[in-house]
Structure 1
Amino acid sequence: MKVLPVKRAILSVTDKSGLAEFGRFLTDNDCELVSTGGTKKMLKEAGLPVTSVSDVTDFPEILGGRVKTLHPHIHGGILADKDNEGHMETLRDFGIEPFDLVCVNLYNFADAVAKGLDLKAAVEQIDIGGPTMLRATAKNFHSICVIPDPKYYPVVQKEIEENNGISLAFRKEMAALTFKLVSEYDAMITKYLSENDA
């Protein structure tokens, strides 16, 4: 798919810079917003229509928020190859709607370490669902776009305004950047765990 129309997006971000404006842009361009927690709260407070991830999965957040997006109704919608009719038939069979855009940035683990939290408290700041969605979306860049940082919102908006969708070249660029960011995040956690006693 050369140009990807954006009709359904997941937004789940720690850095909420420009979030309301970006959400409004997407809504104004007929995109459904799906979200979690504080991101969903901020979008609602901005007066934007937003669907809860729990409504998509038909399952509540559990384990204090450790499990919320790890579900086939989320990851099936992210990982489906839209050029593969077998994939699309599977989505239809299971009532799964595809996503076009995933906008996620990660829990600030560096900040948790800087605060001097003990090991158990610091571990709670290791993001699991976020990197999983980022990696899944980056892998499937032919069919979906990943946005790992608010600084790319203006570029996405320009792409949609000029092309009525997001180009394959930009999606590939974001995929490569995302894998780099996730690998750096994992390296930071590796270093922290290696240097701190249990």
Structure 2
Amino acid sequence: MRRVERALISLTDKSGCEEFASTLAAMGIEILSTGGTAQKLRAGGLTVTDVSAFTGFPEMLDGRVKTLHPLVHGGILNQRDNAEHREQCQRHGIKPIDIVAVNLYAFARTVAAPNCTLADAIENIDIGGPTLLRASAKNFHDVTVIVDPADYPQVVAELQAQGNTTLATRFRLARKVFELTAAYDAAIAQWLRGIDPDANPYFTGAQHA
């Protein structure tokens, strides 16, 4: 069983993340992170590689583009047993990302505020998070994806026992991802159904973030 080398941790819900990341680091797993999660982990004494340093490309567009990069998604999506994938990764300097712990912008909480505007809602539609999650879940054969801090203990126990999670665990975690992203997109669609473009100030230029 192939041992885990690298984890990407980028969280809205940061509960338990320091203990989880500390355990991974103690096993020699490199930690990649972004923004507030990276700051929190560093404040806890952990060595963290910013995704921007990993890719050589800065976060940009007010944080809209952070993890959308071939070095990230190639690291997640490559099939470890595929010789052609291995050759391409070697040629392009793509390193494997074996664990992805991500949760999403709190869209439902944002739009629940009585003064939430369409511009506010749009900026809380997560793009990078669902992309990371879906890529990781698609490649569950090789990647452990975590959307719920309640799953940290099982992942840690399996890593400590055998250096990686079981395929069955990775499948169950991937299934949770697709349940989450389906519900997330449904919530966005449902809220947008309540917007009348003929009456909303966003469409006249009167409301912009």
The TM tier, using the shorter chain, reads over 0.9
Structure 1 stretches of at least 4 aligned residues deviating more than 6 Å after TM superposition:
none
Q: Matches of 1:19 and 1:197 in 2, distance apart?
A: 40
Q: Matches of 1:98 and 1:190 in 2, distance apart?
A: 34
Superposed displacement of residue 133, structure 1: 0.3
SS at match of 2:101: strand
Q: Provide the residue aligned with 1:54 in structure 2.
A: 52
Superposed, 1:1-198 pairs within 5 Å as 3-116=1-114, 117-198=116-197
Higher relative contact order (CA 8 A, sep 6+): 1
After alignment, is 9-18 or 152-161 more displaced?
Answer: 152-161
Identity of aligned residues (%): 50
Q: Matches of 1:197 and 1:83 in 2, distance apart?
A: 50
Superposed displacement of residue 56, structure 1: 1.2
The 8 Å contact of residues 5 and 96 in structure 2, kept in 1 or not, is answered as: no
TM-score when normalising by structure 1: 0.97
Unaligned runs of 5+ in 1: none
The 8 Å contact of residues 12 and 35 in structure 1, kept in 2 or not, is answered as: yes
The number of residue pairs the alignment matches comes to: 196
Q: Matches of 1:10 and 1:136 in 2, distance apart?
A: 13
TM-score when normalising by structure 2: 0.92
The 8 Å contact of residues 9 and 33 in structure 2, kept in 1 or not, is answered as: yes
Superposed displacement of residue 88, structure 1: 0.9
Structure with greater Cα Rg? 2
**What is the RMSD computed on CA atoms of the aligned residues?**
0.9
What one-letter code is carried by the residue in structure 2 that aligns with 1:91? C
Unaligned runs of 5+ in 2: 198-209
The 8 Å contact of residues 4 and 168 in structure 1, kept in 2 or not, is answered as: no
Q: Matches of 1:22 and 1:62 in 2, distance apart?
A: 28
The 8 Å contact of residues 104 and 126 in structure 2, kept in 1 or not, is answered as: yes
Q: Matches of 1:145 and 1:4 in 2, distance apart?
A: 12
The 8 Å contact of residues 4 and 166 in structure 1, kept in 2 or not, is answered as: no
Q: Matches of 1:100 and 1:162 in 2, distance apart?
A: 17
What one-letter code is carried by the residue in structure 1 that aligns with 2:33? S
The 8 Å contact of residues 4 and 144 in structure 1, kept in 2 or not, is answered as: no
